[in-house]
Structure 1
Amino acid sequence: MNEHFVREKRVDITKLSNGLTVATERMPEIATATLGVWVGTGSRHEQAHEHGLSHLIEHMAFKGTARRSARQIAEDIENVGGDINAATSVEYTSYTARVLGENVDVALDVLGDILINSVFDEAELAREKGVILQEYAAVEDTPDDLIYDAFMETAFAGQPVGRPILGTPHTIRSFDADTIRAFLAREYIPAKMTLSAAGNVEHARIVDAAERLFGAMPAAEIRAPETGHYTGGERRLARKLEQANIVLGLPGLSFKDPGYYATHLFAHILGGGLTSRLWHEVRETRGLAYSIDSFHWPFSDCGLFGIGAGTAAADVNELAKVTLDCMRQATADISEIEMVRAKAQMKVALLTALETPGGRIERMARQLLSWGRIVGSDEIVKKVDALDQEHVREAGRRLLQGNPTVAAIGPIKGLPSLEVITAGMRG
């Protein structure tokens, strides 16, 4: 491997006196600028009565401030050809905008306005709660979405990290402006916020704007969320559907765990592409599913490994058996060519994510919030290249020692019991 797998562009980082971090990456070949504020708060930071609040706040950010109506927020961005968006996950909430480099100040002003000056008008709040209730109903009507919510809830039973991001109809209806403001005061604090920008940007200009927009926010200590503890278990939803959707899971690793990359490679070799073992055996050889994949979802203090597929009622039992057989076999005989292929695919995925300003600002923000520094591509690739077959086989064996999680919906009468599945994992 060359000493420099990929030459990193220059990243400038400044921390304001209140703890908010500003990170920029100038890309001279780019005429646009992509900017975003990442908050290290997501659904797992909610208390039980706040379930779904992070997602509602993300929606309400665009519904009016002391200076702008909802329409004016959209117009101010779109009048300069830009776009604006937001997203909520288990551990983060992000607010992003993309504009021409000459309109960076417009985007920053709008982002600062929606994060600092939102008014949470009661009429707008009522309308947006209705929108989210429709979003909730859509998930309930989509088995291959609903089953992954059930999967997380079962794997981390009774814990914030396992709760669906949308909340429940009861909690969604209960939220008011005071609840929102109390959550923001507790969770949206400068030490948990990173303003990240890439493309046609100037670091000093971004820092000046950040100081003007966010500098008055009071410093506060970070409140750690409840630690996630994998529980495992099962949830079976028998419904009259054309297909059974099944997810089998095991305890995964945090992205801070030394074994993370080996576990990631095991997941990829097992079911991460058209040459993966599960795809070849389940899809191509036996025709048991249209698609099947394995995945590893890491969080800051825990993780979840899983395999998901949809199949006909008559094939449920065989699908489960073949999947377990493939997992056990992979822990014994992962080959060198599989390792080479998986490492190459992981590198391509890493570089692809960095080919756009949007990918770069997300990387900077997440890494600064998680690690307090930028983790270079060379550093990641070095860790991946240091792994051999036995590292990855051992990662698989470690997974198989955990208690399984089973989530299934549809015509699932033929799905083996949890005890039988557990025995199948042990061999």
Structure 2
Amino acid sequence: MGVEVSRLSNGLTVATETLPQVESVALGVWVKSGARNEREDEHGMAHLLEHMAFKGTNKRSAWKIASEIEDVGGEINAATSVETTSFYARVLRDDVPLAIDILSDILTDSRFDEHELEREQHVILQEIGAAHDTPDDIVFDRFTETAFRHQTIGRSILGTPETVKSFTSKQLHDFMERQYGAERMVVVAAGAIKHDEFVREVERNLGSFRTKAESALPQYAHYVGGDYRENRDLMDAQIVLGFEGRAYHVRDFYASQVLSMILGGGMSSRLFQEVREKRGLCYSVYAFHWGFSDTGIFGIHAATGQSDIAELVPVIVSELQKAGDAILQEELNRARAQYRAGLVMSAESSASRASQIARQLLLFGRPIGMDELVERLSNLTVERLTDLSGRLFSTKPTVTAVGPVGTLAPYEAIRDALPTSGITARRLAV
């Protein structure tokens, strides 16, 4: 049947996909407002708001929210990302009205009780402390901060102890009123669902939700790049090397996704085979590409011991140089198969499908069918990927490292060893 989409009179988009093989429904509300929508004095507020979502409304206590959904065997949760916040549940088909009612109650009538707020602030302070004590977490926080220096898109989603402790109940209410408007929200369900019935339930609960958010959209992101190193007395070192990536909307987005799989998307990838299998220079290495609405970032993460750092980075840089010279057809075929398999497997999960549909609606204003995605993959060529590699890895690099990183090559040496348009790269000495 595919994805069905309706729009309520207040601008709220409602979408469903019926999956005949399941008896449950994954549903939620996705808001186009995340960490990058915060003002300078609101760093961490979107995440705190997510935590406070289940701490009580004017008609339900925190206990009541949890017990009502679990009395019917359901699950409920929320999540914050750089650009979105989501509130979602999974229930059996007969309990969809209850789930919609609870999610709507949270969005329209949360109390943000001061005592609950104080407790949750303490919980987030513990979360911040735990992240700081986890090198493979902190290295990625420093990575985005360095890549997008002094911009909200690069800040940690968690916030800082100082900002999180300063927030009040009124600020949370004000933030939600400014950021949450029906035109920036989608309600999606996937599974054992009937579209018309779902739309009626959403209309009944959220049909009068305010139409527009008052706040302006975040400023356009600007990739900066640079170097960050934090020497710590640890057993291993966490290293991330990154470059300016591609936004969701641009032509090279899917090519960048596939390139990341060829370089470091599995055990057959170039980096895994060369760095880990042949040379044993690290215990973990992979490539990734993160797309945002107006920018992106491509990166390689490696975790290794102190004695292998000096050799590891030159080998990674060498593999990036080779990618700019040639991509093999068999590599492209393998990466396409991996990507397509991932799409098919995610389509078998109602929660994954609901999230994917919501993301597409927020980014593109429409759901993108499997056939269209597969066609985009089919149009990729080795020549296009080779050309993309040369352009991608000639942007200013971002280097972040945490651990015993004293033997890591200087930033300038890493930068000069990378291919630059019109300039022959220098060999990075081991």
TM-score, normalization by structure 1: 0.97
How many percent of aligned residue pairs carry the same amino acid?
Answer: 47
Q: 2:91 aligns with which of 99, 108, 124?
A: 99
Report the Cα distance in structure 2 between the residues aligned to 1:420 and 1:258, rounded to whole angstroms. 31
Q: Cα offset for 1:314? A: 1.5
Q: Cα offset for 1:82? A: 0.5
Q: Cα offset for 1:418? A: 1.0
Given that 2:5 and 2:16 are in contact with CA atoms closer than 8 Å, whether structure 1 keeps it comes out as yes
Match of 1:52 in 2: 44
Report the Cα distance in structure 2 between the residues aligned to 1:141 and 1:241, rounded to whole angstroms. 11
Query: Aligned Cα RMSD in Å?
Result: 1.0
Q: Cα offset for 1:252? A: 0.4
Report the Cα distance in structure 2 between the residues aligned to 1:363 and 1:248, rounded to whole angstroms. 28
Given that 2:276 and 2:283 are in contact with CA atoms closer than 8 Å, whether structure 1 keeps it comes out as yes
- Single out whichever of 347-356 and 143-152 deviates more from structure 2: 347-356
Cα deviation, 1:188-228, whole Å, max 9, x if unaligned, reads 11011111011111212211221121111221157311111
Q: Cα offset for 1:355? A: 0.9
Amino acid at match of 1:186: R
Report the Cα distance in structure 2 between the residues aligned to 1:291 and 1:170, rounded to whole angstroms. 34
Given that 2:237 and 2:304 are in contact with CA atoms closer than 8 Å, whether structure 1 keeps it comes out as yes
Match of 2:324 in 1: 331
Amino acid at match of 1:304: I
Given that 1:38 and 1:94 are in contact with CA atoms closer than 8 Å, whether structure 2 keeps it comes out as yes
Cα deviation, 1:354-397, whole Å, max 9, x if unaligned, reads 11111111111111111111111111111111111010011111
Aligned length: 419
Q: Cα offset for 1:162? A: 0.3
Report the Cα distance in structure 2 between the residues aligned to 1:13 and 1:264, rounded to whole angstroms. 28
Q: 2:33 aligns with which of 32, 35, 41?
A: 41
Amino acid at match of 1:41: S
Q: 2:400 aligns with which of 388, 401, 407?
A: 407
Match of 1:4 in 2: none
Given the alignment of the two structures, is residue 24 of structure 1 paired with residue 16 of structure 2, yes or no? Answer: yes
Cα deviation, 1:324-381, whole Å, max 9, x if unaligned, reads 0011011112111111101101101111111111111111111111111111111111
Report the Cα distance in structure 1 between the residues aligned to 2:3 and 2:130, rounded to whole angstroms. 41
Q: 1:200 aligns with which of 167, 192, 195?
A: 192
Report the Cα distance in structure 1 between the residues aligned to 2:377 and 2:187, rounded to whole angstroms. 29
Report the Cα distance in structure 1 between the residues aligned to 2:219 and 2:98, rounded to whole angstroms. 38
- Single out whichever of 332-341 and 69-78 deviates more from structure 2: 332-341
Q: 1:272 aligns with which of 265, 275, 294?
A: 265
Cα deviation, 1:15-41, whole Å, max 9, x if unaligned, reads 111111110112222211111100011
Cα deviation, 1:302-333, whole Å, max 9, x if unaligned, reads 00000001111111111110000011011112
Q: Helix, strand or coil: the match of 1:395?
A: helix
Report the Cα distance in structure 2 between the residues aligned to 1:363 and 1:399, rounded to whole angstroms. 26
Given the alignment of the two structures, is residue 285 of structure 1 paired with residue 282 of structure 2, yes or no? Answer: no
- Single out whichever of 220-229 and 67-76 deviates more from structure 2: 220-229
Match of 2:234 in 1: 241
Q: 1:172 aligns with which of 142, 164, 173?
A: 164
Q: After TM superposition, what 4+ stretches of structure 1 lie above 4 angstroms from structure 2? A: none
Match of 1:386 in 2: 379
Cα deviation, 1:48-72, whole Å, max 9, x if unaligned, reads 1111001000010000000100000
Q: Cα offset for 1:267? A: 1.2
Given that 1:28 and 1:200 are in contact with CA atoms closer than 8 Å, whether structure 2 keeps it comes out as yes
Match of 2:334 in 1: 341
Report the Cα distance in structure 2 between the residues aligned to 1:244 and 1:291, rounded to whole angstroms. 11
Given the alignment of the two structures, is residue 254 of structure 1 paired with residue 252 of structure 2, yes or no? Answer: no
Given that 2:229 and 2:400 are in contact with CA atoms closer than 8 Å, whether structure 1 keeps it comes out as yes
Match of 2:412 in 1: 419
Given that 2:180 and 2:212 are in contact with CA atoms closer than 8 Å, whether structure 1 keeps it comes out as no
Report the Cα distance in structure 2 between the residues aligned to 1:364 and 1:352, rounded to whole angstroms. 15
- Single out whichever of 221-230 and 261-270 deviates more from structure 2: 221-230
Report the Cα distance in structure 2 between the residues aligned to 1:82 and 1:400, rounded to whole angstroms. 46
Q: Helix, strand or coil: the match of 1:332?
A: coil
Q: 1:108 aligns with which of 100, 104, 109?
A: 100
Q: Cα offset for 1:268? A: 1.0
Structure 1 segments unaligned to the other structure (5+ residues) = 1-8
Q: 2:361 aligns with which of 357, 368, 378?
A: 368
Q: Helix, strand or coil: the match of 2:342?
A: helix
Given that 1:190 and 1:219 are in contact with CA atoms closer than 8 Å, whether structure 2 keeps it comes out as yes
Amino acid at match of 1:83: E
Given the alignment of the two structures, is residue 13 of structure 1 paired with residue 21 of structure 2, yes or no? Answer: no
Amino acid at match of 2:303: G
Q: Helix, strand or coil: the match of 1:228?
A: coil
Amino acid at match of 1:129: Q
Amino acid at match of 1:90: V
Q: Cα offset for 1:293? A: 0.3
Q: Helix, strand or coil: the match of 1:333?
A: coil
TM-score, normalization by structure 2: 0.96
Match of 2:299 in 1: 306
Amino acid at match of 1:167: G
Report the Cα distance in structure 2 between the residues aligned to 1:242 and 1:249, rounded to whole angstroms. 23
Given that 2:265 and 2:287 are in contact with CA atoms closer than 8 Å, whether structure 1 keeps it comes out as yes
Given the alignment of the two structures, is residue 213 of structure 1 paired with residue 205 of structure 2, yes or no? Answer: yes
Amino acid at match of 1:50: E
Amino acid at match of 2:82: V
Given that 2:184 and 2:212 are in contact with CA atoms closer than 8 Å, whether structure 1 keeps it comes out as no
Structure 2 segments unaligned to the other structure (5+ residues) = 420-424, 426-430
Q: Cα offset for 1:264? A: 1.4
